[in-house]
Amino acid sequence: YVSVVDRFIICAPDAVHRDTQEPCGLHTYTCRGWCRLEMMARACSSGVEQVYLQIEAADDLRAMTAADFQTLSLRVFEGHFSVQSDVQKLVDPVLGLYCSILRQGHEGHVEHIQVLRKHIESDRFLTPTNGLHNS
C-alpha cells in the first residue's frame, strides 16, 4: 500500500511502549524490519516526495528532507523483528522491490533510483547470516 499512496506520514513521536515500557520514537521506527520495508517500498515508488514526519507534537508535521533520508537504513533483513519468522515472509517482496529499482534505473528514472542504489547493497540483501539461503 505504501508504494501507491499519495502521501506517506511516519508517525513516530517519542513515547513509552504500552506493553514493553521501552522508549519508542523515530530511532526505534527506523530499526524495525517491517518499518524499513515500508520506507523502502515508498522510496522505490517515488523517492521521498510527499513523505512527512510527525515526531514532535501532534500538529508538528514536516516534509522529509534528503538529509533525513540519508539517516535511514533500508536494510530490511537487518532490522528488528518481534516475530523472527516474519523475515521469511519478506524475501519475495524485497526481491520484487530490488528488481523494481534495477528496472527503473534502466528505464531512465534515475534521480531517486541513484539515491536508493547508494543505500542498498545487493550483497547485503540475502546473506547467509540471516538464514535466508538454503545450504
Mean pLDDT of the residues in the chain: 78
Give me the mean pLDDT over the 77-97 stretch.
Answer: 89
From the DSSP assignment, how many helices (H) and strands (E) are in the chain? 6, 5
Which carries the bigger pLDDT value, residue 83 or residue 76?
83
**What is the C-alpha separation between 85 and 73, in angstroms, rounded?**
21
- The DSSP H or E segment spanning 64 is none
**What is the C-alpha separation between 88 and 86, in angstroms, rounded?**
5
Which carries the bigger pLDDT value, residue 55 or residue 129?
55
Question: pLDDT digit string (tens) for 4-55?
Answer: 788 888 888 889 999 989 999 988 999 999 999 988 888 877 777 788 888 8
User: What are the φ/ψ torsions at residue 58 (nearest 5 degrees)?
Assistant: -60, -30
